[in-house]
Chains A and B, each alone.
Chain A
Amino acid sequence: MPSKHKVLIVDDEQELLNLYAELLRALPSRPEVHTATSGARALALLESDTFSLLLTDLHMPKMDGFQILLMVRRKYPALRTAVITGMADQEYRTRAYSIGTDLYIEKPQSRPELMLFADCIEGLLGQEEKGGFRGVQSKNLVDLVQMESLSHSSSVLRVLQSGIEGKIWIVEGEVVDAETDGSTGEPAFQRIMGWRRGSFEILPAQPERERRITTSTQSLLLDFAQWSDEARAAAEQDSGDVAEGMLRAVTRIEGVQSVLTRKGRGEIEAWGLEEADRYAEWGAELLEAASELGEKLSAGAVQRAIASSADRRMILQEEEDRFILLGLNAETTNREAGVIMDHVAREWT
């Protein structure tokens, strides 16, 4: 039996959120509806769960709907999005569609409009795909490369996933090179092929591209199929990973916008943060300096550090072999931040 669609609605007006939620829960597909009253909360929820559809208002304080859509489009290219707004301006509509929004709906004013709104959302949920690339919904990258290969085409496939760009150069049906995020040739090809969601475009051919891949396209695809099976098996094993589960669980705590954890100077795990490595680096530096200071002052061990900016509060704490950094609402007090961190640290250990 297929699992329920999950819909996330973002609006700063709680009453409207309740109304939409009630309406959508009554749809024939009976989706699971989640709500958020701010962009930051919405992004945290998107990090912690997989949604089929994001429905957002445009006019909201701090982070408006366009900002949310831009971030979502970059980070979750396969997520369907819809705008529901009181602004009937054509310019807004054009801008929303240019970002890649699937649907722009004006706030329903009457019962027939409400029914139409519900039908539109149900229709969007019906189109939801389990994977695939926007533009060729039923195809994956293997299909795309095979299509180019069989038709002896020359082109450059530009693929985007979560803000990372990958390119595959095809000359007369043969893959001659690939490049992504510092790697080139076959390793880059295998990496790009592993992306299960994203967006792509076909750019004009570059037949003069230096050939770094000499393996035939069919062999490459066979190698990928084998690698893919192994990766899937490993991913299934990893799915029960405790740390990942914790990260997801933590972002569900009210007030928590993001969470980051790092073992020593090792791998960073984070949810709800853009460019988590910057935060991790800053956190590690601060804890190290604070520890030296504590030694000099004979103040004892550093228990935690709390940093505040205009729009958020961060609390940082060392726990056994790792440190945890939580991003919280700016409204959270230091005392509340401490209580939340105590709760998280207890759960973690």
Chain B
Amino acid sequence: MDVKLFARRSGPARSFDIPQGAFTYDSAGGIVVGSVPTDWLEAYGPQLVSVFRKAFTSAEQKGLPLAEIALHYAGARITARDLRGGGIVYVFPVRKQP
């Protein structure tokens, strides 16, 4: 039987993996400084920046300039604020009460 022990699957949120903090990025998308753990930032920062930059740019191109976008997940709240092309991203884990 073919068992995929490490197969990726959509499951409940593992919010313990998500740190609390913030980081900034410049207008070229490069991460400048952050208060979240470096390994987490290196692993996930670029994709976070990419998603938010694309969302801000796409909105502007469609004539809907935005100042802030907040994504609410079951296990985290992630908010990005546009700062003249660059931006700041806030990450908050959401921990359910037992």
For residue A244, give the distance in angstroms from its CB to the closest CB of chain B. 25
* A163 CB within 8 Å of chain B: no
Inter-subunit contact A297/B74 (CB<8 Å): no
B44 at the interface (CB under 8 A from A): yes
Docked CA distance A334–B77 (Å): 12
Roughly how many angstroms separate A279 CA and B58 CA in the complex, as a whole number? Answer: 10
A232 interface residue (CB < 8 Å to B): no
Supply 30 A–B pairs (Cβ within 8 Å), ascending by A.
Answer: A278-B64, A281-B62, A282-B62, A282-B64, A285-B54, A285-B55, A285-B58, A286-B69, A289-B51, A289-B54, A292-B51, A293-B51, A298-B13, A298-B75, A299-B13, A299-B18, A299-B73, A299-B74, A299-B75, A300-B12, A300-B75, A301-B10, A301-B13, A303-B72, A304-B72, A307-B59, A308-B67, A308-B68, A309-B66, A338-B72
The answer to whether B75 touches A302 (Cβ under 8 A) is no
Contacts of A303 in B (CB 8 A): 72-74
B64 x A310 contact (CB < 8 A):
no
* A302 / chain B contacts, CB cutoff of 8 Å: 71-73
In the complex, whether A305 has a CB less than 8 A from a CB of chain B is yes
Is B66 a contact of A290 with CB atoms below 8 Å?
A: no
Interface size on B, residues (CB 8 A): 32
User: B17 touches which one: A278, A282, A298 (CB < 8 A)?
Assistant: A298
Chain A contacts for B73, CB-based, 8 A: 294, 297, 299-303
Does A306 reach chain B (CB closer than 8 Å)? yes
Contacts of A296 in B (CB 8 A): 44, 47
Given the complex, which residues of A lie within 8 Å of B55, measured CB to CB?
282, 285-286, 289, 307
Q: How many residues of A contact B (CB 8 A)?
A: 30
User: Is A295 engaged at the interface, CB distance under 8 Å to the other chain?
Assistant: yes
B-side contacts of A300, CB under 8 Å:
12-13, 15, 73-76
A300 to B8, CA, bound (A): 13
| Additional A-B contact list (19), CB under 8 Å, known A293-B78, A298-B75 | A278-B62, A278-B63, A279-B62, A282-B55, A290-B71, A293-B47, A293-B51, A297-B44, A297-B73, A298-B18, A299-B78, A300-B12, A300-B75, A301-B13, A301-B73, A302-B71, A304-B72, A307-B70, A308-B69
CA distance A289 to B78 in the complex (A): 13
Across the interface, name the chain B residue whose C-beta is closest to A293.
B51
State A336–B43 Cα separation when bound (angstroms): 34
Cα A296 to Cα B44 with chains together (Å): 8
